[in-house]
Structures are given as structure tokens and as C-alpha cells.
A and B are shown apart, each in its own frame.
Chain A
Amino acid sequence: MNEASLIGLFVATVSFAALLYLAALGELLSEKAGVLNLGVEGMMAIGAVTAFIAGVELGNPWAALAIAMMSGAALASVHGFFTVALGAEQVVSGLSLTILGLGLAAYLGKDYVGQPPRAELVPVEWAGLSDIPWVGPIFFSQSPIVYIAILMGVAVSVVLTNTRIGLALRASGESASSTDSAGHSVLGLRLSAVAAGGALAGASGAYLTLSLTPQWAEGLTAGRGWIAVALVIFGAWKPGRVGWGAILFGGTLALKTRLQTFGVDFSPIILSMLPYVLTLLILLVISVRSRKRPSPAPAGLGFPYRREER
């Protein structure tokens, strides 16, 4: 174990954390509004493939990112339509969305497998700051998307607590009927939240093909969408805590491939179970605590809303 590999570990931790954080923020928005979206894998895949294709065809990474976010939002809106507008079961729709997203991504990306990327978002160099030992490479030489992820975290947090639309969004996840009575459109709020969630998941996928592993292959998402779902619960639906959780889970991902270099004789496969086990433990803690005060989970999560017009 030497300094360089340790730094490398931390750099990777931050990178993976950003990947997970973006997707988790999206899911957080959706769940805060009351809609469970288990299609994160699918949305990430779509974001990844469209970003790559757009990058190859257009050559501009920022345009590619934008297109990826729009694609993610579009896919998510399918789920939104069925669950919010039609009131179908959220679990079933979300899983179907994963299948659709993964299949669509594979189909679209078929001719692009193995192609070299034409647009990348390379790590930013902050004048001077990037040269500080340790802190420099870890915090100041990351892809611009990492910084976007941090900004997003702040933005989501501010929107949820300090804006009217944030209040309304949270309300629609807690009690859709009360929100409806207050004059808000539960349909509009939920659909927007789901679409925004899709956009962020798409951005997360774009991060994969524009920065992390600049190429396209089927199965690129490799289950990280599921980690994002777990992350939201681990962070008790609070953007700040989800951020810390992202660093923790990101560290797990980073460590997985580096265990050997550190001479640690621990199975990377077992290590990769960690995020899920930790989430389970936190869930137990939350449940025990919920006996005295309301649970942090949005009270209306998972339930479709139909105004009872009699």
C-alpha cells in the first residue's frame, strides 16, 4: 500500500459517490412526492447510451449530457404516466421500466459497442488548487459532473425546504388528499418529480459514458441503480444524509477492485454486499425509532391518488 494508491482510492470514492448521488437524488425527489420508481437501472442505462451516442454524433459533451437528461426524463415519464395518471401499481411499473430501459439501451447502443468516444468530460483543473497534495487530486481534479452533483444536492435541498413547489411536492408525498384540497395539482407535482428523477438518473448514466468509463457496453450500469435506491433509504430521504451515504457506498465500490493492491485478503464480492447490508441495518434502526415519532419515509409513498369524485 502506498500513498499513490491510497489517493487513487479516495479519488475513485468521490467519483463513484457522485455517480450514486445523482441517481439517488433523482429517486429521492420521486419518492418525496410519493412515487416509488424501481426503474433507476433502466433510466441510468438510457442516459448512458444516449450520452455516448450523442457524444459520438455531435462531438459536444455538454449537449450529450443534456440529451441524456432529457432521455432519462422521457423514460421516467412512462412510469409517471402509468402510476400517476392511471394509478397502476408502482412496483410493477417500475420493474417493467427497468426492463424497457435496459432493452432500449441495448438496442440503441448495439452499433456503438466498442467504439471510441468522441466527447468526454475530462477532469477539471482548478488553477493551483489541483496541485495541493492529497486534497488536490481528490477534490479538485474531478469531472465537472462531480461538481454538478454537489450543486444538485444543494439545489434539491433548498428547493424542498425553501420553496413553494418544494413544500407542495413534499406534501403530495405525505398526504395527496390534503395537498389536493389545498389547491395543488397532485398529478402535476408527481409527474414533475418523476420526470426530474429521470433526468438526474440520466445524468448519472451520462457520467458513466462521458467520464468514468468512456465507452458503451451492454450492462454498463451493473446494478448501481439498485444501490441508488438503497441509498435513498439509507439517507432517510434527506439530501445531506444521502450524500454521506453516497460517499460510504462509493467507497465500497472503489475498494472492491483495489483490495488486492492493498494486500487485503478479503473477497471483493462480499465487500460488494456491504451497501445492501448497511441499508438493511439502517432500516431496522429507523423502524425501531418510528415507534415514538413519525417515520422519515413519505407517508403516502407507493399509494396512487385518485380524487374521489362521487
Chain B
Amino acid sequence: MTHSSSVVDGNQFAVHLSDVWKMFPGVVANAGVELCVRRGTIHALLGENGAGKSTLMNVLAGVYRPDRGQLKLHGQVHSFRNPADALSAGVGMVHQEFRLIPSFSVAENVVLGSAPPLIRPQELEAEVAAMAKKFGLRVDPTQPLWQLSMGEQQRVEILKVLWRDASVLILDEPTTVLTPSEVDELAEILRRMAQDGRSIIFISHKLHEVSGICSEATVLRQGKTVATSLDMAATDAAELARLMVGSSPVAPDRPEVATPGDPLLELTELRASGDRGIDAFSNITFQVNSGEIVGIAGVAGNGQRELADVIAGLRPSTQGSVTLNGADVTAARPQQRFRAGLAYIPEDRLGVGLAPRLSITDNAILRIYRQQRRGLFIVAEKALAYCKYLITRFGVRSGDPGGPIAALSGGNLQRLLVGRELDGQPSVVVAAQPTRGLDVQGVKAIQDLLLDQRKAGAAVLLISEDLDELLTLTDRLLVMEGGVIRGEFDPRTVSRHEVGMAMLADTNATTR
């Protein structure tokens, strides 16, 4: 473990975690972790997916109780029994999934948990507005929360923590829901808070985002601290990357240039409404050819999810057409599209792709039970055989196939899901966030499967928030923002900056 400062004085630090252990059944999430955060700084907590960052911060925020270890805030030892304890000690966390109440107003959401005994709504709204202004957070306290975008909701979450006068603020992967300009806004907000004497811990697995914002970093790998109190200015990206993944980052294998064939998936002037009645996306026209991977980049909430659902037939379109292998499937139901050669890997594994309370076998036969049945009945032996086949072919680590699906880990769930979808030799694959939240092996496994499909001549549409993944795997890259395609790029030559500009909806950006 490397330190940049040789003296570790507990009192200098706003936060000092030492020898923290946290275990869950079957996995050690944190193994003797060290973390030191200086007062008034923005501190990066880096590590790959699954390194233990969120777990550690949940310990700090009182959500989890550590199995062993010490937690010191401003030199004082604390033991939090629940989030309320942590909050009163001055630690607040903004989670990836917001803890907000849609039917309440912004002001009500902000003060929940720390309101005065008697509430005068208008006074409260004025106070919330004042605090928001002080830190540069653009929100309207009177607005009902369900009307706000993800970026706006995040500001409410931050305001909540500030309202409690938190001296330590933890942000868990905050930039995944923000556009590049919103990221800049966030950086400014955080700087103001740091100047105000507050300490900020910024969890991320993306180096380039934190380098502009954070002054110090701690790196976790596989549950352990590999470095803490690193001076970001003095450490170069390659070194940080090495610490994160454990060896020199090998440039990932780019697939050889493809000679794409016929268009297997064609979208023409496609348009659909979102859950609130307004357009989720419109004017979508592009095609995916046989033997290529087309990527769609863009921050979540810009219509990608709805687009994937429309292509799969789970959501109706209001205009335009979807053509699969030359046949118009715009009005076809999901099962018909599946039979026509479409495979869909949804974002929500346990919840859309898989039925949470059923067994592994039940989930395995989801696509083929209709073919397998004899008369009215499902044949148990055939179902089990197929399940075992999927497990073997796609390397799913599971116990008893008759056991509950919820017992599988994230990576294995995804392997089963992806395997089930790809087993039928689809001609078109739509994959939404297929590697999100997986560990290194899991990510590779899924990416390899997608590349295999490409090799076999399928048309693959890859929707991902991970720009690195898209730049590596895809043959063509589209950017979607505000429900429209803002540009098409060659992933081998384009710069991140160009892509970022497209995500800004700058009409001067490169268009097709």
C-alpha cells in the first residue's frame, strides 16, 4: 500500500477509516480497508466495479455495520447503528438510486428528516431556495418531484444533505446520470462546498472524470486498499489505472474491421411516447447491418431505454417503422419478434429479463417453453435438460437448477440471461447496458459473447453508458440525446470530446 504522506495523523482528517471489514454470505466486500480524507478536500474513491467502494461508503454512512474496524470523524471515534446516526454526526450520502418521494415537492423532499416541528410551507420553500442559490443548485422548491429530470433530482439529493449541514458528503457514481455540462456544474457545486469547509468523497470507476475535480484519491481493488491519500496532481492516469486493475492496462483487443452485410434491423422515422405522455424519442432513423456492432452512447434518460423497448415490442411506437430481416414488425408482439430472430437483453435483469421469485429452470425456459410443451403441459425433464445445457454452455455458476434465481450473483444472472437470449442464434441482438455492474471477468464474458454474435453475422445494437466499452467494441457509434440521434461517429477515430459535444445537443456538432 502506498501513501503519499508519511505521517498519518488522525486529527487532520475529516474521515479516517481503519481496518474496516465487511462481509456478506459468500463474499468479502471490504478486507481491512484504510481511508483518510483531509478536511475541505474532494477525495476520489476509485476502483473497478465490485472493488468494494459502495460497500465501504455505506459503512461510513451508517447503512451497513462493519464486522470489524474503526471509524473516526474529525478525530472522534464513532459507531453508527443506522443512517440517522451518521446524519447527526454529519455524514450524508447521495446514493446512485435516489431516495426521493415522487409525489412530494422539492422542498418537502429536502426537509424530510430534519423539518422543524411546525411547518410553514412558504417559509420553508424560501429557505430551501436560499440554500440552493448559495451553492449554485438550480431547483424550484415548489415543483413536485416527479416532474424533475435525473440531473435535477440529483441536485435535490445534494440539497438534502446540505440541509442537514453535513460536513462529509459522499457521492456514489454521481456522473452516470449527468450530461458533460451538468458534470461541470456539479464540479463547481462541489468546489463551493469544499471551500465552505466540507469534505467530499467522490466514488467513481472512471479516471478521467475525477481527475479534474478531485485533489486526492484512494484506490480499492478486490476489497482492499491499494493506495490512499494519493495526490491526484502528482499521479498520472496510467499509474492510477495500474493500481485499479493491477497491471499495465492492456489495450483491449479491437475486433478486426468488419465488412458488414445487409441491413437486418432498420428503423425509419421512429417515434414513441414516454411514461409521462411526451415524446421519449423521435425521428430515429438508422440501420444495423449483418456482422457489425452499432453502439448508442448517451447518458441514461435520453430515450435509449424506450428505444430498446420499442424495438423489442414492449412499448408501442407512435410513428415510423421497425423492420427485422426485411419484414415490417412495427405492430408485432414481442414473441413474434423473437420468432423472427430478435434477441433482447434488457437493462433490468432481475425484474424484466428474469422472473425474480421463480426457479432457475423456470427462468431458463422462458423463451422456449411454448415449443417444448406437450399439449397443455410443460415437460419437466426437457426443461431441466435445457437449463443444464444453458448453464454449461455459458458458464453460469449456480447450485441446484431448481433453486431460486435470486440466489445467483449478478454476473451469473447476466450470463444466464444473455445465454438464454443468444442461444437461439438470433439475427438481431439488442443489448441494453449488458455489462453494467459486472466484475472484470463478467464484463469480458459478455463482451466476448457479443463479439461472437457479430462474427456469426448477427446485427448487434449495443446501448451503453460506458463510453470506453462503446469505443472499443463498436463499428459505428451513434449518440442519442434528448430523444434524437445527435451524431454518428467512427469509434476508431473519434475523440471523447467530439462525442461529449454531441451529447450536449450542440447543433454545430458533427452530424451524419
Binding site for B on A (CB under 8 A): 161-168, 170-171, 174-175, 177-184, 291-294, 299, 307, 309-310
Contact = CB atoms under 8 A, between A and B. Distances in A.
Given A183-B87, A310-B64, A167 B112 contact: yes
B102 A299 contact: yes
A168 B88 CA distance: 17
Given A183-B84, A310-B24, A164 B115 contact: yes
Interface string B198-214: 00000000000000000
Contacts of A293: 146
B119 A164 contact: yes
Interface centre among B113, B117, B119 (most CB of A within 10 A): B113
Nearest to A185: B84
Contacts of A163: 117-119
Interface stretch (B103-111, B126-134, B413-421): B103-111
Interface in B145-165: 146, 160
Contact of B101 (A165, A171, A291, A310): A171
B277 A175 contact: no
- Give the bracket for the number of chain B residues in contact with chain A: 20 to 34
Contact of A309 (B64, B95, B277): B64
B374 interface: no
B136 interface: no
Contact of A167 (B88, B95, B99, B119): B119
Contact of B121 (A161, A184, A291, A299): A161
Contacts of A310: 24, 64
B241 to A, nearest CB: 30
B10 interface: no
Contact of A175 (B65, B95, B101, B114): B101
A86 to B, nearest CB: 20
A174 B101 contact: yes
Given A162-B121, A181-B95, A183-B113, 18 more contacts: A162-B119, A163-B118, A164-B116, A164-B118, A167-B111, A168-B112, A174-B102, A175-B100, A175-B101, A179-B112, A180-B82, A181-B99, A182-B112, A182-B114, A291-B277, A292-B276, A294-B102, A310-B24
A204 B83 CA distance: 39
A184 B113 contact: yes
B33 to A, nearest CB: 17
Most buried by B among A166, A183, A307: A183
A181 B83 contact: yes
Contacts of B95: 181
B428 to A, nearest CB: 32
A8 to B, nearest CB: 43
Contacts of B65: 309
Contact of A171 (B24, B112, B276): B112
B246 to A, nearest CB: 26
Contacts of A307: 82
A167 B103 contact: no
17 contacts: A162-B119, A164-B117, A164-B119, A166-B119, A167-B111, A168-B115, A174-B102, A175-B101, A178-B100, A179-B113, A181-B99, A182-B160, A183-B88, A184-B113, A294-B103, A294-B146, A307-B82
B304 to A, nearest CB: 23
A180 B81 CA distance: 13
Contacts of B121: 161-162
A171 B104 contact: yes
Given A164-B115, A183-B83, A294-B146, A177 B108 contact: no
